[in-house]
A and B are shown apart, each in its own frame.
Chain A
Amino acid sequence: MTTNIPVQEPGHNEPGVTDEASNLELKEVEGLSQGQIVRRRFFRHKGAVIAMIVLAAIILLSTTSVGVTIGPWRTPGWWPFTWDALTPVENRTRPSLAHPFGQDEVGRDIFALVMRGTQQSLSVMFIAGIIATVIGVVIGALSGYYRKAIDSVLMRFTDVIITIPIIVIGAVLGVAFGSLGASVLGVVIGLFSWTSLARLVRAEFLSLREREFVDAARVAGARDRRIIFRHILPNTVGVIIVNSTLLMAAAILLETALSFLGFGVQSPDTSLGKIISDNQAAFATRPWLFWWPGLFIIAIALCINFIGDGLRDAFDPRQKRMPSARALAKGKGANAVTGDVAAANAPIASDLSERDGGQGTR
């Protein structure tokens, strides 16, 4: 920490933020709208920006290479093989020029399979993320805004869902609905992973509803719906966005874990977890069946986690970024902003939900 601590200005109540630091902060956000500040801070987080580019590249690669299959429709891709076509085994299934990721024992092209699996995992992730966010926000908002009986009922309902480990509910429902495909699996995962978000949104609402601007809106004659959605909700958007990304990272790990256990996506379709599970026994002889799907899972989850971290840095009004001595010196000299200080000084609430993600998938 700093060794020389200047006196704080009266009325300046952020502990630990020195004058120099807060001046730098002020200079940085002068004359900018909220959106601009958020964008700026996000783009300063190098890890998050790189993660976003990588994720976009993965999405583009997986959708264009083997094409997208929705029901009976299938768009063509530039890759010569499709994920379900059997091709003659070449080069004893080892990676070759024609099949850079190799083939499995029946001759399916691993690159095409991994691309299909990536599509499936991504769609599970996005569907689960959207559904969980909507449910979590609505339940949290109603519960926090109305309190009393509605709060009790909704929170007890949330407790019922929390009590059931998500991998358990995912497995039970995966057995029943997994054969219906990745999108249904995504819906199922989404329906049961909104609990942490609902709790966080509720907590935000409980404190925001006591603020003056809510009173002002009520006195002006605004209805409950307007107060909830136009006045309070925009103030909670940081918490919501950050936790939705973390939910999505958890969803993709959960989907692959369920498919690995055989409770997720079923044959003949495939997913990243399923490719690993199918080829687990062949690891000693054909490790590439194993490395590629795993690397794609890690890449996607890592990207989402980094984007979530960048968003947390960008949105969190509580963040206290103590610039390093070097950055302070630089700021003094050239009036520059502290560009290299990007690591998360994460607040506890969002770390809590970060935990929730890992928990279910041990």
Chain B
Amino acid sequence: MATFVIRRLVASFFVFLAATYLMYILTALSGDPLEDLRASTAPNAAQLIERRIDLLNLDVPPYLRYFIWLGGVGGCFIGQCNLGFNVQGQPVLEILGQALGQTLQLVTFAAIVAVVIGVIIGITTALRQYSTYDYSVTFVTFLFFSLPIFWVAVLLKQYIAIGFNDFLRQPTIPPLAIVVIALALGLIAAGIAGGDLKRRLIAGGTAAVVTGAALAYMSATEWFLTPSLGIVVVALTAIGLAFAVTAISAGLRNRRALYASLTVAVLAIVLYYPLQFLFVSMTLPLFLGLAIGTILLSGAIGYFWGGHDRWQSARTAAIVGFLTAGVIALDEFMSYWNAYSNSSRVRGRPIATIGAETPNLGGNFWVQGVDSFTHLLLPTIALILISIASYTRYTRSSMLEVLNQDYIRTARAKGLTERTVLVRHAFRNAMIPVATIIAFDIGAIVGGAVITERVFAWTGMGALFQNGLERTDPNPVMAFFLVTGTLAIIFNLIADLVYAALDPRIRIS
């Protein structure tokens, strides 16, 4: 194992060295870094050219200049990083830090949501194989897969951002739209529910009626201007989550797990008002601390409720606690929506299309959070639409492969409940290849949003790369490549190790 990792890392190191050399030469030879100054009419142009040549060592030919750059990178190992300067004379290391921050902010949330939704859709289509739902999803996945992201991004900018911002002037939903949306959701629910006609009608009908009623209520009360959930909806959601999570994770027959989840849900409802006092002075560390604390506390509650499998109860309760806390946080964020969208910087057009934040917005933690959300919304939708397709296809085929295995039939034959068969035997094994794909993707994702960043004008890794390339400026391009390449190598290795750890049949040597 250790030899495998070391051998792999050493080989990757030399491979990467070769790749960086190739990249450096290609970038350096792709144009003239002095082009803008040569065309310049400034009286001190000659001086500027000289200074740039001096700063970037342009008098050294690229195949040797690479080694100057490599020397600077080598300094990172002894704590003196030097990634060189860009053509404007800023140190690249500084820009890289900011760019990496923005990109991570952009891609992390999109990646998590895409994985969760993709896996859920993949599993439901596998369970309803060859149904209308399956066929429709297959077609839609293929469609998403064929979409050019820049096209989607521009469409989103036009229709969602401008459309929704205009909608807020008169936030009522036309009755026809309510009916159409409710029917569409009802059809989807009926498709997922499967089974005989009665079951599908009940599922579809319930979904349609609930959606229609909710939308009509929202429209009538102009909910979108001052959105909030309130204690009633929070309480109902918490109880509902407790039942739903338990049903999937432990089965409703496991009473201890159910009581543990309900305890957590009731605790959350009781703490709803006291927490409001704490929320006024919220900071990011406190927020994260609360999240972790919630998970630990709910896990402990589950553990002490016990039952024949303590950890199962603990896990179930922890998930319920985390989700309920998320709902309460969402409620708090919503209460600042009105203040945010009416602030002088936003002026009633909250959905942003440019950049990562509203400049000089000010405000507390919650207002800043809403601001990030409105900026993240569109690029995140674009990224999710594109990447959800592959996760769906992948989960579906993996799940089908597992469902056809003999041990699934054995599990059914010995009388296990359908939930146990699907969650314990099928789902876990189907997730093994998906987990490796996810690990692989995390490595690729940091450099993978070049186009999205461009359309939404984020100054992340993509912009670093693109601006560098346009100005024939190897140092920023190489900084981009250094980060993405290193991550790709490390996560490739992790993907292999994860596979071996999850699937004992695979031996690495």
Pick the residue among B138, B149, B394, B488 that contacts A163 (CB under 8 A). B488
* Listed residue (B383, B386, B404, B433) with the most chain A CB atoms within 10 angstroms of its CB: B404
Among the stretches B15-23, B73-81, B246-254, the one at the interface with A is: B15-23
CB interface residues, B 375-419, toward A, < 8 Å: 383, 386-387, 389-390, 393-394, 396-398, 400-401, 403-406, 409
Among the stretches B46-54, B325-333, B365-373, B449-457, the one at the interface with A is: B449-457
Complex Cα distance, B488 from A79, in Å, reads 49
Residues of A within 8 A of B31 (CB): 175-176
- Size bracket, chain B contacts: 35 or more
Are B148 and A257 in contact, with the CB atoms below 8 A?
Answer: yes
Complex Cα distance, B358 from A28, in Å, reads 64
CB interface residues, A 279-326, toward B, < 8 Å: 280, 283-284, 287, 290, 294, 297-298, 301-302, 304-306, 309, 320, 322, 324
Residues of A within 8 A of B130 (CB): 324, 341, 343
The answer, yes or no, to whether A235 is at the interface (CB within 8 Å) is no
Pick the residue among B15, B441, B477 that contacts A156 (CB under 8 A). B15
Are A348 and B401 in contact, with the CB atoms below 8 A?
Answer: yes
Pick the residue among A169, A260, A343 that contacts B451 (CB under 8 A). A260
CB interface residues, A 257-277, toward B, < 8 Å: 257, 260-263, 273, 276-277
Are B451 and A345 in contact, with the CB atoms below 8 A?
Answer: no
The answer, yes or no, to whether B364 is at the interface (CB within 8 Å) is no
Complex Cα distance, B390 from A358, in Å, reads 8
Are B386 and A343 in contact, with the CB atoms below 8 A?
Answer: no
The answer, yes or no, to whether B321 is at the interface (CB within 8 Å) is no
Residues of B within 8 A of A5 (CB): 409
Known A172-B27, A283-B158; judge A165-B447 contact (CB<8 A). yes
Known A176-B30, A253-B148; judge A320-B404 contact (CB<8 A). yes
* Cβ contacts A to B, 30 pairs, < 8 Å: A16-B405, A16-B409, A163-B16, A165-B484, A172-B477, A175-B31, A176-B30, A261-B466, A290-B151, A297-B146, A297-B151, A298-B151, A301-B145, A301-B146, A301-B147, A302-B142, A302-B146, A341-B130, A343-B138, A346-B393, A346-B396, A351-B394, A351-B397, A354-B145, A354-B390, A359-B448, A360-B448, A362-B149, A362-B386, A362-B449
- Size bracket, chain A contacts: 35 or more
CB interface residues, A 158-207, toward B, < 8 Å: 159-165, 167-169, 171-173, 175-176
Are B394 and A348 in contact, with the CB atoms below 8 A?
Answer: yes
Considering only CB atoms, which chain A residue lies closest to B484 in the complex? A165
Known A276-B151, A280-B154, A351-B394; judge A302-B29 contact (CB<8 A). no
The answer, yes or no, to whether A344 is at the interface (CB within 8 Å) is yes
The chain A residues found within 8 Å of chain B, CB to CB, are: 1, 5, 15-17, 47, 156, 159-165, 167-169, 171-173, 175-176, 249, 253, 256-257, 260-263, 273, 276-277, 280, 283-284, 287, 290, 294, 297-298, 301-302, 304-306, 309, 320, 322, 324, 341, 343-348, 351-352, 354-355, 357-362
Known A261-B451, A348-B401; judge A297-B485 contact (CB<8 A). no
Known A276-B154, A355-B394; judge A257-B149 contact (CB<8 A). yes
**A-B CB proximity, top 6 nearest:** A16-B404, A301-B146, A302-B146, A294-B151, A175-B30, A362-B448
The answer, yes or no, to whether B489 is at the interface (CB within 8 Å) is yes
Are B469 and A175 in contact, with the CB atoms below 8 A?
Answer: yes
Are B150 and A159 in contact, with the CB atoms below 8 A?
Answer: no
Known A164-B19, A346-B397; judge A276-B451 contact (CB<8 A). no
Residues of B within 8 A of A163 (CB): 15-16, 19, 485, 488-489
Considering only CB atoms, which chain A residue lies closest to B440 in the complex? A355
The answer, yes or no, to whether B129 is at the interface (CB within 8 Å) is yes
Residues of A within 8 A of B466 (CB): 171, 261
Q: Closest CB-CB distance, B101 to chain A, in whole Å?
A: 19
* Listed residue (B18, B148, B149) with the most chain A CB atoms within 10 angstroms of its CB: B148
